[in-house]
Structure 1
Amino acid sequence: MPVLLLAPGGCATVAAVHPVVASDLGAPSRTSTLEASLSQRGVVTFERIVFARWTAGRGAFIDRNDSRTAGVPKGMEEAVIYAYVIDHPRFGRYLIDSGVSQDLEPRLNPLMRRALHDLNIRIERTTAEWLQGGATPRAVFLTHLHFDHVGGLLDVPDDTSVYVGRGDVEERSWTYRLIGRPADIALDGKGPLHEWAFTPDPDGAFAGIIDVFGDGSVWALSLPGHSPGSTGYLINAVDGPKLVVGDAVSTRLGWEQAMPQPLPASARADAEASADRLRRFSAAHPQVEVFLGHQSRTDQTD
């Protein structure tokens, strides 16, 4: 969630103290190999699901202290909590991000609950309700560990593996000292987090790339900045390639007008580099459909 979990300052504490192990999935690759896979016939089915919505001022999504945002009028933005279902014909069902759970809010501290109330979060369905309609995912691939991407983990069976980018657990903010660690609450009872084993992309187009299943069907992309381990996922779906970018770019203002996010100074360079890499990749491959963290690229509402 923008701002709420990313404010800078002293007395910082970590995002989570949950145990971490190295990923047992995937192998490092490179952009040129990923690009070659785009010409292959897609085998994975892909679905985006809307779980909840909230409303906040634009300052929650763009850095009002940056001169580049001066021309953006004040106003409100509606944001959506999405998750994405991928079904692989050989390896089964996986979930990208986790939706929402009704059980999370009562476990949060009063300050965090007040913040959620101020955002006017409207749940349209819970992860528990979604799970009643089909197969349980074999694993959850997180874009990052922030509250609005991990909340649905409470509804996911405890033996479901959870994957995350390297460094997200160690993200430090004074805000966690105030609101607690929502990620730890969502991960309660789960096994260790599996960290993607990114290595530098030899082609330099991304910070790192992993071929998740070894067949070019699903790729994890290292996109540090919004959080240290922010991860995107490219899916070669049966109806064309899809790119889920998480909060590396969360809104249309960020994508179309390259507006910077409100982030600690130490994260800004990485965040802008990751967003620029995504835009360049999209421009070079217009057949790839891009899914932003909290808004559709094309529709005013979903």
Structure 2
Amino acid sequence: MSRQFPSLLAGLAFALAVSACATPTTRHPVTAADLGIPAATSDMEASLARPGVVTFQRVAFARWTGGRGAFIDLDDPRTAGVPKGDEEATIYAYVIDHPRFGRVLIDAGVSATLEDRLNWVMRRGVRDLNVRIDRTMGQWLANETAPGAVFLTHLHFDHISGLIDLPLATPVYLGPGEAQERSRINLLLGSPADAILEGYGPLHEWAFQPDPDDAFDGIVDVFGDGSVWVISVPGHSTGSTAYLVNAVDGPKLVVGDAVSTRLGWEAGMPQPVPLAARAAAERSADRLRRFSVTHPAVEVFLGHQSRTGQVEGR
């Protein structure tokens, strides 16, 4: 990443911090989800003993390079031994095919026309990240069935830009409070979520209730049959979610950017999140790692990198 770009952002962010009000991630309308039954972690765990009924595929859409400080908090004493440098990241989407409910995506890949919708700050940022597109969502759709819905892990642009290429009638689901999360940085970046979501109907918020087992903040059985579960893992963003998929070839855990890299997962390195979100982010990451240790048959998919030993999907 260019060394000038972070400095530019820092200066602009400071100016906005003293002169502007915090703005939400998106002003797009939100409604309650029409899918899902609140459940407990023990219900989700019990489902792992049953045969999977859905198919699962990871698709790599693009790669980008960012400074290691974009992924771990280099100011935290726990990261003192981590050398500075760059990390290679991949932008993924995950395809789930259900025998009754059809196809859904987790996250949305990328669109070639994203830059056209961004303000100059975001355009500069995307270019400095050296984003290399392997395929766009539009290209993928040319040979694939369009999804009936998209389940987002969160609203950051690198997880949602492929929505531009999808039919505007596609329902989009996300965690509670994700759209309303307020930050001055949203004004600086020009609300990229608003630009990407233009033309879509209201976003559907998952209806979490407190997990009776207190293993996570909340659990929802998406289709009511134990095939797909959405897990509340706030911290990286207010409404960050993970997804446990009981696939025919074994259970898969898509953690989104609750843990985005191998350093975060294997070494427990903290994320560079605002001070107010640090405790939640570390708690969510710890809970996901604990669940993985307890259930070693579950294959884990990190936000932007494969775990050691996994083959990078294309």
**Could you state the TM-score of these two structures normalised by the residue count of structure 2?**
0.93
- Confirm whether residue 159 of structure 1 aligns to residue 130 of structure 2: no
Do residues 138 (structure 1) and 148 (structure 2) align?
yes
Secondary structure of the 2:220 match is strand
Of the candidates 30, 48, 56, which is equivalent to residue 46 of structure 1?
Answer: 56
Correspondences of 1:9-28 after superposition (within 5 Å): 9=17, 11-28=21-38
Partner in structure 2 of residue 201 of structure 1: 211
1:189 matched to 2:199: yes
State the 1:301 CA deviation.
7.7
Taking every aligned residue pair, what percent have the same amino acid on both sides? 69
Who is 2:3 aligned against?
none
Structure-2 residue corresponding to 1:232: 242
Q: Which of 259, 284, 289 is matched with 1:249 structurally? A: 259
- SS in structure 1 at match of 2:308: coil
1:81 aligns with 2:91: yes
Relative to its length, the structure with more helix (as a share) is 2
1:290 to 300, 304, 312: 300
* Aligned-partner residue type, residue 26 of structure 1: G
CA distance in 1, matches of 2:200, 2:25: 16
Paired residues, number:
298
| Match status 1:111 vs 2:132 | no
What amino acid sits opposite 1:273 in the alignment?
R
Q: Deviations over 1:140-159 (max 9, x none)?
A: 00000011011000001011
Consecutive unaligned residues in structure 2, runs of 5 or more? 1-5
**Structure 1 unaligned residues grouped into runs of 5+:** none
Which residue identity lines up with residue 127 of structure 2 in the other structure? Answer: H
2 CA distance for matches of 1:179 and 1:91? 36
CA separation in 1, counterparts of 2:309 and 2:293?
20
RMSD over equivalenced CA pairs, Å: 1.5
Q: Which moved more, 1:241-250 or 1:103-112?
A: 103-112
In the TM superposition, residue 35 of structure 1 has moved relative to its aligned partner by: 0.4
1:37-89 residue CA offsets vs partner (Å, 9 max, x unmatched): 00100010000000000001111111111100000011211000000000001
Cα separation, 2, equivalents of 1:228 and 1:83: 21
Contact kept, 8 Å, 2:117 with 2:196, in 1: the verdict is no
Alpha-carbon distance in 2 for matches of 1:159, 1:258? 39
Partner AA of 2:57 in structure 1: E
CA distance in 2, matches of 1:109, 1:276: 36
Cα distance in 1 for residues equivalent to 2:199 and 2:138: 16
In structure 2, distance between residues paired with 1:190 and 1:197: 20
**Amino acid of the structure 2 residue aligned with 1:204:** D
Letter in 1 for 2:261: T
User: Which of 216, 222, 228 does residue 218 from structure 1 map onto?
Assistant: 228
Deviations 1:187-219 (A, max 9, x none): 110110000000100000010000000000000
Task: Give the match's secondary structure for 1:140.
Answer: strand
For residue 176 of structure 1, report the CA deviation from its aligned partner: 1.2
AA partner of residue 172 (structure 1): R
One-letter amino acid of the structure 2 residue matched with residue 161 of structure 1: P
The one-letter amino acid paired with 2:62 is: A
Q: Distance in 1 between the 2:57 and 2:212 partners?
A: 31
Inter-partner Cα distance in structure 1 for 2:264 and 2:182: 24
CA contact (8 A) 2:61 2:90 kept: yes
Structure 2 Cα separation of the partners of residues 12 and 123 of structure 1: 32
**Counterparts of 1:54 and 1:103 in 2: how far apart (Å)?**
17
> Residues 300 and 134 (structure 1 numbering): CA distance in 2 closer, same or farther, change over 3 Å?
closer
The residue identity in structure 2 corresponding to 1:162 is V
1:264 aligns with 2:274: yes
Following TM superposition, by how much is the alpha carbon of 1:264 offset from its aligned partner in structure 2, in angstroms?
0.4
- Superposed CA offset, 1:218-252 (max 9, x none): 00000000000000000000000000000000000
Distance 1:125 1:240 in 2: 27
| TM superposition outliers: structure 1 runs of 4+ over 4 Å | 7-10
Give me the whole-angstrom Cα distance separating, in 2, the residues matched to 1:56 and 1:145: 19
After TM superposition, the score normalised by the length of structure 1 is: 0.96
For 2:61 and 2:162, locate their aligned partners in 1 and report how far apart those are by CA, in whole Å. 9
Give 1:271 shift. Answer: 0.3
Q: Which amino acid aligns with 1:246?
A: G
- How far the C-alpha of 1:300 sits from its partner, in A, is 8.6
